[in-house]
Every structure is written in structure tokens, then in C-alpha cells.
Amino acid sequence: MLVLGIETSCDETSAALVTSEGDVVSEVVHSQIASFIPYGGVVPEIAARDHAVMLPGVITETLRRAGVDLSAVDAIAVTHRPGLMGALLVGLMTAKGLAWATGKPLVGVDHLVGHLLAIFLQRPGDARPKPDYPFVALLVSGGHTALYRVEGPSTSSMRELGATRDDAAGEAFDKVAKLLGLGYPGGPVINRLAREGVAERSGFTFKPTLGGLEMSFSGLKSAMARHIEERNIEPCADATAPTDVHRDLAAAFQKSIVRILVQKTLLAASQQDLGRIVLGGGVAANTELSAELRAQASKRGIDVFVPPLASCTDNAAMIAFAGALALDEDPLGRADTLTLAPNTRSVLLSVTRKGGGPRTSRGAS
């Protein structure tokens, strides 16, 4: 089966052709990052407009690269949740139009389910081993930071174990980079500068307070903001010319956030008694995170699986693949109708209560 995937939930416009075995036949990802540099973050209205302008060309190019037309496609999979409403709508309406015009089945995919299955994508030249089920997954991106138990490819076999109560880890990278005047997106630049900095020299320390598998990153960002203010540290005048103070703070921030992510992920693996950990999402590209997690996990006999960068960041291949698996499982029952609606929330139940206030064991989010 060959599935056309469409992804427009946030700031990447992407289309891909993927087989039900996970082979990525072709893929195009148009990143909107350049549009958001002046704002230091995604502006939903601009994202939606950009998707509307770019998506038709992205789909055409995806088909052209594979040397096929829509008649070769067996189904159309599209991210319909969670994400920015306007952005989701562009992909969803396009997918519905294509499904209606071609008579091909339409399948709505939850973006988080796509991320959780992205480790199984087979990209040309990639020889990384794939995990068996079940595994613990840390999904860590600009919009999401959560731990899951994944027992199989269906949504009913994925369970959230804990998540951030406030900012996502990638959001914290972006906000701290903004405080330091390092530009957008913050993750890659902090990752790079941290290699040249000395965390201890910065004088910045942070003690996380949350136990269990819940996380919080807005406190970390505020602690960094206070540190910068108290010491009268100026943001970089020119993002390409940071000083040692900026490098040391980048190292200290990264060390703090990586420590939290690694500690929580290992705790999840131990609570679930699982020997496999899978990373996903844009922050999985962080070299200190993967190195530290691998080092600590190997001491406990736990295997760590990190997908290639193209599978970590938002992409339509993971959506096509998740759609193919859903259709494989239940070819007649799983196809959606043209009434498929967008939704800003994931289908995966959250056990983490967002924001402040008293905790319950199973808060809504």
C-alpha cells in the first residue's frame, strides 16, 4: 500500500509518499522558520496562510519526485489533531478535496501518534535498528513534552505516563535563546554554543521541584530570566557573536533541561519495567540529550533508539505511515469520511494537569 501523507499542524508544510512497511518513497518538507524569525515563535495566522500558499506545490513536488500521480496512491492520510486550528484546516481541507476527487480512502492521523511511530520509518541509507514493542517514548518538541508507554501501533495501545504542566522543552529552549539574544529557533543554537561553554562558570543553578513523571519548564525559564536580570547580563547584540557569558549560560540551561528529561525518562522506564526507550520530536536532535540518555540508560541495560533528524522534526512521512498502519489494521472500518473534523487536542488521554493549582491523579488537560 502506498499512502500520501499531509502534515500542516504547526510550522512545517509537508507531504510524503510512504509504504505500509514504512519505506519513505518521497517527501517534501517546507519549513516556515524564516517567517517566524522576527517574532521569535510561531504566529498561528501566518502559519495557516503560509500552508495555504505552499501545500499544493509541496504535494505536486512529492508526487513528481516519486515519478507517480495520484492514481498510484492507495489512501490519503492527514494530520487532523492536535495543532493550530487554522494550520490543521489547510491540510485537512486539502486532503478531503483530494480524497473526494480521487475516491481514495481518507484517514485522519493524530500528530502525536505519528511522532510515536516515526522511529519505524525506513529512510534510504538509514541502517539504525528498530525497537520491538513495548517501549517508553519521550516525545519532546516545541509544542509537546510527554512520556508514553507504547505497546503497539494503534492509539489504544499508547498511554501517556506524564508530561509537562506548562511549557514544552523546545519552547523553553526558544524562550531562553530569546532572552540571550540568540535568535530563533533556540534549540540548535543553544546546543551549539553549549559545546563551547562551561555550565559551572555561569553560576546558574536550578533545582526542579516536581516529583514523579510530571515536568515543568516555565520555572526553569523564569530562573534563567532572573539570573540574567540580577547580573545585568546583556543579550547578544549580534546572534552570530556570542560572548563566553552567553556560551556558559547556554551550557548551564541545557545541562538543567537535559538532566530533567533524562531523569524522568529513566524513571518511566523503571516504573514500567521496560528496557527500550525511543526519542521523538525536534528536541530529540539535541546531542547532549541523546548522549546523556544513552550513557545513563546503558548502565541500566536499557536500549535507546533515536530516529534520524528528518523523522524527529515535523514531517508528513510519519503521518502517512501511521495512516497506513491504521488502514492495515482495519481496512474498512478505519477510513474516515469527509465529515472528519480538526481538533486542537490529541486523542491520547493526558494524565497531566496543565497549569498551576492543586493536582489530582487524573486531571483533565
Chain residues 300-319 in contact with Zn ion, contact rule CB under 5 A: 314
| Residue closer to Zn ion, measured from CB, 14 or 256 | 14
Supply the minimum distance, in Å, between the C-beta of residue 351 and ligand KG4: 21
**Contact predicate 240/174, CB 8 Å:** no
Supply the minimum distance, in Å, between the C-beta of residue 86 and ligand KG4: 16
Supply the minimum distance, in Å, between the C-beta of residue 114 and Zn ion: 8
Helix (H) and strand (E) counts in the chain: 11, 10
Q: ω before 185 within 30° of 0 (cis)?
A: yes
Residue 171 found at the interface with Zn ion (CB under 5 A):
no
CA 238 to centroid of chain Cα atoms: 29
Q: Residue numbers of the site for ligand KG4 (CB under 6 A)?
A: 10, 141-143, 170, 173-174, 185-188, 191, 281-283, 285-286, 313-314
Burial of 44 (0-12, 13-18, 19+ CB in 10 A): middle
Q: Identify what 174 binds: ligand KG4, Zn ion, none; CB under 5 to 8 Å per kind.
A: ligand KG4
Set of cell numbers at residue 294:
544513552
| Residue closer to ligand KG4, measured from CB, 170 or 197 | 170
List 330's β-bridge partners, or say none.
none
Helix 44-66 / helix 85-102 crossing angle, nearest 10 deg: 30
| Nearest partner of 119 among 106, 101, 137, judged by Cα | 137
| Residue closer to Zn ion, measured from CB, 131 or 281 | 281
Burial of 124 (0-12, 13-18, 19+ CB in 10 A): exposed
| Residue closer to ligand KG4, measured from CB, 73 or 319 | 319
d(CA 147, CA 214): 9
| Residue closer to ligand KG4, measured from CB, 285 or 327 | 285
φ and ψ of 150, to 5 deg: -120, 115
| Residue closer to ligand KG4, measured from CB, 134 or 186 | 186
| Residue closer to ligand KG4, measured from CB, 104 or 221 | 221
Set of cell numbers at residue 199:
555550565
Q: Identify what 13 binds: Zn ion, ligand KG4, none; CB under 5 to 8 Å per kind.
A: none
Distances (CA, A) of 86 to 46, 90, 285: 9, 7, 27
Supply the minimum distance, in Å, between the C-beta of residue 168 and ligand KG4: 7
Q: Identify what 114 binds: Zn ion, ligand KG4, none; CB under 5 to 8 Å per kind.
A: none
Q: Identify what 187 binds: Zn ion, ligand KG4, none; CB under 5 to 8 Å per kind.
A: ligand KG4
| Residue closer to Zn ion, measured from CB, 32 or 256 | 32
In sequence order, what are the residues at sequence separation of 6 or more whose Cβ sits closer than 8 angstroms to the Cβ of residue 346? Answer: 81, 82, 110, 111, 112
| Binding track, positions 124-153, relative to Zn ion; x by CB under 5 A | -----------------x------------
Supply the minimum distance, in Å, between the C-beta of residue 316 and ligand KG4: 13
Q: Identify what 186 binds: Zn ion, ligand KG4, none; CB under 5 to 8 Å per kind.
A: ligand KG4
Residues that bind Zn ion in the complex, under the rule CB under 5 A: 141, 314
